Amino acid sequence: MGVLTPGAKVLVGVTLAGALWIACDAPNLHIFIAGQYIASLDCVTPGEAVDVLDGPATDASCDATCVVPFGADGAVYVTGACPPFPPGDAIGDASALCPKALAAIHRSDLCLDGGPSNPLVDSGVSTVKPDAGAALDAPVKDGGRG
């Protein structure tokens, strides 16, 4: 390794001081993290960086919120981060997929390599009776007593 000349030492010192000054003057940034809802699997991916926001990091203990990022071609994300959310993003039930995305996150259904971690299970039992339509057409009797 070579020895620095006095001029090179000054240049290195000035460069380091400049870098420190720029870093101290930079805005406080944080990463907005959310999991993407995958409709074909009915689950949510583990959290990923979705956006970089100005300001200090927010708490991640808020209720699950559906976020549709601006320009994300309809992709739906779920986050537990507290506001503020990325500017321009649609928040709440901005997509027909939001209720399904929130249901998946509430049952802790993460998309893993093998598929959903906690998928909905079809019990095979129908809740609709075969003659339910006929019952809707029947006249209603007083209090059901005949």
Query: pLDDT at position 125, please?
Result: 45
pTM of structure: 0.60
Task: Quote the pLDDT of residue 3.
Answer: 46
The pLDDT assigned to 131 comes to: 45
Q: What is the mean pLDDT of each run of 10 residues along the chain (146 residues)?
A: 45 43 61 92 92 86 89 85 87 89 92 75 48 41 42
Instruction: Tell me how far apart the alpha carbons of residues 65 and 80 are, in angstroms, rounded to a whole number.
Output: 6
- The predicted pLDDT at position 27 comes to 66
pLDDT of residue 65: 92
Where does residue 8 rank: exposed (0-12), middle (13-18), buried (19+ CB within 10 A)?
Answer: exposed
110 in helix, strand or coil? strand
The structure tokens 């583990």 sit at 46
pLDDT of residue 122: 56
Q: Is 69 helix (H, G, I), strand (E, B) or coil?
A: coil
